[in-house]
């Protein structure tokens, strides 16, 4: 019983983390039909920038709680620099090309950004840590739940995931811009004919998606040692999430994250050697049974 | 059987390479070996791309071929090169025939994603199976070829010989196949599946067949690589490895069976220099090259050669 409870908690925390990373991917695919491999690099960029910002913060001996502001700042900075740069500098010349070609373009971009990271931050593992060992992680401390100890930081992840999901849903369904976006998703050319600035829509979408990837990276940075190649690891996991849920679907990303989170937590607790295997097995099974993911088919409206 | 120009060239190059073997310095031989192994895998990617499919999981078969070769060495204790390659080809052929039943229904990014998922399943299994060395993999060493023991220099020449002969044989057969009736269907399927069906040909059977052929080629390439390098690990089925194959295929283009082999040679040559002089910008060079090729040379490097001598 206790273990089941632990699986549930770990699963939810892990699902939240996955959702934060995958939601940007699904947003970009849903609107622009680009399966963005470079999403993994943006995630890594967010993590590395978070390391730099937080280290600077701690080295000035400012209050440790402020490091959370630094994490957020890292995500915003990465999103605002690389989102526009990539969209305006490269992707806008590619619109209308085959989806597979677009995947390859972002793969090339992934390769380039991996080395940008190496050039800026070097190849040694880094930690989000102050001179006295303070981290955003340790500031919050732990709480006990049915005999097990969990860091409060995990609650931050859950909170950010829920807030992100809620905010996106609200924007898409309740605001004017969201409705315009849905029009663009349905029919790009017709929306353009009706006077919607499709270029601007794409620009904003990609920047927001890039920022979400960086948020994922920045929030992950304090919990792991930040190494090169972390983007490659995460992007396939994010693919699994969005493919299970249905590419381009917001509830799909949530469901996919939940499934992958639970499967992984369960396998870590009961059969640790099957951890990675089980995740991709679920992905393959879903693709076999429902090729376009769980949230697809009759449903026309995506996102 | 009247041979076309490409077939004749393949035979000539094979003979030339084998004849030149004693004169080749060690570095050139190992560079050629690795390029040819990659070339064999990319030959399969080329066939898929001609059919309009991009697999982001061909590392699955590359790795499977290598591990099948490793199993022959480790478990069966028969370190024979020919048997290793045969095991690699057989294992990948069987797995691809089964997975192909599913994959033949998929197109575009869904094909890419499902093949990625399959390759990551193998990765997930291998990194956790301690009997196969987990993430470290294990060493293998081939000691004979067709039962004839080879040591030292003889081993080196035997490895080179089997790599050259098998790669060139693969290229030769693939070239013949591409000129056959069914082989010509590949591009027709890429352009318009419906028309192919109306002509009375089965799209699904053809795609399934091409998938199996490409998998077996990747398996042979993986087994050869295992024999050449003497070490295998799960990274062979990690997705950046599959991405590398896609990269070489894009770089070289699908114009001719020489394109993948030449592309692999260019790729490996640049890589050896890049590792030497600037290991931290190597991927960046790759990425930029890939963008340039995709934007300005959609037909790959091969199209440069074609333009120079109009057919």
What pLDDT is attached to residue B311?
45
What pLDDT is attached to residue A302?
47
Query: Which of B287, B289, B292, B296 is the mutation pick for testing A, counting most A CBs within 10 A?
Result: B287
Contact B128 A292 (CB under 8 A): no
Mean pLDDT of the residues in chain B: 85
Chain B residues in contact with A114 by the CB 8 A cut-off are 283-284
At B148 the three-state DSSP class reads strand
- Closest-CA distance of chain B to residue A70, Å: 28
Contact A284 B128 (CB under 8 A): no
Nearest-CA residue of chain A relative to B110? A291
Contact B114 A275 (CB under 8 A): no
Looking at the domain assignment, is residue B298 inside a domain? no
Looking at the domain assignment, is residue B269 inside a domain? no
- Cα separation, A223 vs B58, in Å, equals 33
Q: Choose the closest CB to B294 out of A104, A112, A276.
A: A104
Nearest-CA residue of chain B relative to A247? B110
* A143 secondary structure, DSSP code: E
Interface check for B205 against chain A (CB to CB < 8 A): the answer is no
Looking at the domain assignment, is residue A180 inside a domain? yes
Interface check for B98 against chain A (CB to CB < 8 A): the answer is no
Q: How many CB pairs under 8 A join A and B?
A: 115
Contact B287 A109 (CB under 8 A): yes
What pLDDT is attached to residue B44?
92
- Closest-CA distance of chain A to residue B11, Å: 34
Nearest to A233 by CA among A279, A173, A192, A287: A279
Q: Choose the closest CB to A280 out of B54, B121, B240.
A: B121
Query: Which of B245, B251, B254, B283 is the mutation pick for testing A, counting most A CBs within 10 A?
Result: B283
Nearest to B84 by CA among B71, B94, B97, B96: B71
Nearest to B138 by CA among B237, B38, B230, B238: B230
- Closest-CA distance of chain A to residue B116, Å: 8
* A303 secondary structure, DSSP code: -
Looking at the domain assignment, is residue B265 inside a domain? no
Looking at the domain assignment, is residue A300 inside a domain? no
Bridge partners (DSSP) of residue A150 are A143
Q: Choose the closest CB to B117 out of A232, A247, A280.
A: A280
Contact B110 A101 (CB under 8 A): no
In whole angstroms, how far apart are CA B304 and each of A14, A208, B17, B42? 49, 40, 24, 19
Count of domains in chain A? 1
What pLDDT is attached to residue B307?
61
Contact A243 B117 (CB under 8 A): yes
Count of domains in chain B? 1
Looking at the domain assignment, is residue B75 inside a domain? yes
Mean per-residue pLDDT, B245-272? 87
ipTM entry: 0.84
Digitized pLDDT (tens) for each residue of chain A, 303 residues in all: 678 888 888 888 889 999 999 999 988 888 888 888 899 999 999 998 888 888 888 777 777 777 788 888 888 898 899 988 888 888 888 887 888 888 888 988 998 998 888 888 878 887 877 766 677 777 777 777 767 777 787 888 888 889 999 999 899 888 888 888 888 888 888 888 888 888 888 888 899 999 999 999 888 887 888 888 888 888 988 988 988 888 888 888 889 899 999 998 888 888 877 888 888 888 888 888 887 777 764 444 444
Contact A239 B284 (CB under 8 A): no
pLDDT confidence band for B1 (50 / 70 / 90): low
Query: Which of B113, B134, B235 is the mutation pick for testing A, counting most A CBs within 10 A?
Result: B113
What pLDDT is attached to residue A220?
86
In whole angstroms, how far apart are CA B11 and each of A178, B17, B60, B164, B172? 62, 10, 30, 11, 8
Looking at the domain assignment, is residue B188 inside a domain? yes
- Cα separation, B232 vs A80, in Å, equals 42
What pLDDT is attached to residue B221?
93
A-contacting residues of B 15-74, CB under 8 Å? 54, 56
Q: What is the helix (H) or strand (E) element at residue B273, kind and residue range?
A: helix B258-277
Looking at the domain assignment, is residue B263 inside a domain? no
Q: Choose the closest CB to B117 out of A98, A247, A284.
A: A284
- Cα separation, B1 vs B5, in Å, equals 13
Q: Choose the closest CB to A112 out of B102, B120, B284.
A: B284
- Cα separation, B44 vs B120, in Å, equals 19
Bridge partners (DSSP) of residue A148 are A145
Looking at the domain assignment, is residue B91 inside a domain? yes
Mean per-residue pLDDT, B111-137? 84
Nearest-CA residue of chain A relative to B290? A108
Interface check for B290 against chain A (CB to CB < 8 A): the answer is yes
- Cα separation, A97 vs A112, in Å, equals 21
Interface check for B135 against chain A (CB to CB < 8 A): the answer is no
In whole angstroms, how far apart are CA A162 and each of A65, A238, B82, B228? 22, 17, 57, 51
Contact A240 B117 (CB under 8 A): yes
- Closest-CA distance of chain A to residue B279, Å: 9
Query: Which of A116, A232, A280, A290 is the mutation pick for testing B, counting most B CBs within 10 A?
Result: A280
Looking at the domain assignment, is residue A75 inside a domain? yes
Nearest to A209 by CA among A38, A88, A12: A38
The boundaries of the domain holding residue A71 are 21-128+136-231
Categorise residue B146: left if φ over 0, alpha if ψ from -120 to 50, beta otherwise. left
pTM: 0.87
Contact B105 A291 (CB under 8 A): yes
The answer to whether the CB of A103 falls within 8 A of the CB of A37 is yes
Chain B residues in contact with A118 by the CB 8 A cut-off are 280
B255 pLDDT above the threshold of 60: yes
- Closest-CA distance of chain B to residue A297, Å: 14
Query: Which of A41, A98, A110, A236 is the mutation pick for testing B, counting most B CBs within 10 A?
Result: A236
What pLDDT is attached to residue B223?
92
Least confident of A185-199, B46-60, B65-79, B144-158: B144-158
What pLDDT is attached to residue B85?
87
What pLDDT is attached to residue A300?
47
Beta strands (DSSP E) in A67-224 are 142-145, 148-151
- Closest-CA distance of chain B to residue A107, Å: 8
- Closest-CA distance of chain A to residue B65, Å: 20
The boundaries of the domain holding residue B22 are 5-237
Query: Which of B56, B57, B117, B243 is the mutation pick for testing A, counting most A CBs within 10 A?
Result: B117
Q: Choose the closest CB to A108 out of B112, B113, B291.
A: B291
Nearest-CA residue of chain B relative to A279? B121
């Amino acid at each position: 019983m206790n273990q089941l409870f632990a699986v549930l908690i770990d699963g939810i925390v892990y699902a939240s983390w996955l959702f934060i990373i995958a939601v940007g991917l699904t947003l970009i695919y849903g609107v622009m039909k680009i399966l963005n491999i470079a999403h993994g690099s943006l995630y890594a960029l967010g993590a590395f920038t978070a390391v730099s910002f937080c280290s600077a913060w701690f080295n000035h001996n400012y209050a440790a709680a402020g490091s959370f502001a630094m994490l957020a700042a890292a995500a915003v900075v990465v999103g605002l620099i690389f989102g526009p740069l990539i969209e305006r500098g490269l992707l806008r010349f590619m619109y209308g090309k085959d989806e597979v070609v677009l995947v390859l373009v972002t793969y090339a971009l992934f390769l380039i950004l991996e080395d940008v990271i190496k050039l800026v931050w070097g190849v040694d593992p880094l930690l989000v840590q102050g001179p006295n060992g303070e981290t955003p992680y340790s500031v919050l401390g732990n709480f006990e739940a049915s005999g097990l100890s969990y860091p409060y930081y995990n609650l931050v992840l859950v909170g950010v995931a829920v807030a992100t999901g809620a905010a996106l849903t609200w924007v898409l369904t309740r605001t004017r811009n969201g409705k315009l976006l849905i029009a663009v998703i349905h029919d790009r050319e017709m929306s353009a004919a009706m006077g919607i600035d499709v270029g601007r829509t794409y620009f904003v979408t990609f920047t927001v998606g890039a920022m979400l990837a960086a948020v994922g990276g920045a929030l992950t940075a304090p919990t792991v040692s930040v190494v090169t190649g972390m983007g490659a690891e995460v992007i396939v996991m994010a693919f699994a999430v969005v493919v299970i849920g249905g590419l381009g679907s917001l509830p799909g990303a949530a469901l996919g994250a939940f499934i992958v989170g639970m499967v992984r937590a369960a396998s870590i607790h009961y059969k640790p050697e099957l951890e990675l295997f089980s995740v991709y097995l679920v992905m393959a099974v879903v693709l076999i049974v429902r090729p376009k993911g769980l949230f697809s088919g009759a449903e026309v409206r995506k996102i | 059987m009247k041979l076309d120009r490409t077939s004749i060239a393949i035979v000539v190059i094979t003979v030339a390479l084998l004849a030149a073997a004693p004169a080749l310095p060690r570095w050139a031989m190992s560079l050629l070996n690795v390029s040819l192994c990659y070339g064999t895998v990319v030959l399969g990617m080329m066939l898929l791309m001609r059919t309009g499919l991009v697999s982001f999981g061909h590392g699955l078969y590359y790795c499977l071929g290598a591990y099948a070769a490793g199993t022959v060495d480790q478990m069966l204790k028969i370190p024979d090169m020919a048997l290793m390659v045969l095991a690699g080809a057989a294992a990948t052929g069987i797995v691809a025939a089964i997975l192909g039943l599913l994959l033949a229904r998929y197109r575009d990014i869904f094909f890419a994603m499902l093949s990625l998922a399959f390759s990551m399943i193998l990765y997930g299994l291998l990194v956790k199976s301690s009997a196969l060395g987990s993430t470290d993999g294990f060493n293998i060493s081939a000691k004979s070829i067709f039962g004839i023991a080879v040591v030292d220099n003889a081993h080196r020449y035997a490895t080179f010989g089997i790599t050259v002969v098998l790669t060139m044989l693969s290229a030769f057969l693939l070239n013949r196949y591409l000129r056959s009736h069914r082989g010509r269907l590949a591009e027709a399927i890429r352009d318009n599946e419906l028309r192919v069906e109306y002509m009375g040909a089965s799209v699904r059977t053809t795609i399934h067949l091409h998938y199996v052929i490409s998998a077996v080629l990747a398996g042979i390439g993986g087994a050869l690589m295992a024999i050449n390098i003497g070490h295998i690990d799960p990274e062979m089925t990690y997705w950046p490895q599959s991405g590398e194959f896609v990269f070489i295929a894009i770089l070289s283009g699908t114009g001719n069976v020489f394109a993948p082999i030449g592309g692999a040679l260019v790729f490996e040559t640049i890589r050896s220099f890049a590792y030497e002089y600037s290991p931290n910008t190597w991927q960046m060079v790759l990425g930029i090259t890939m963008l340039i090729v995709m934007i300005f040379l959609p037909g790959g490097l091969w199209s440069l050669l074609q333009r120079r001598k109009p057919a």
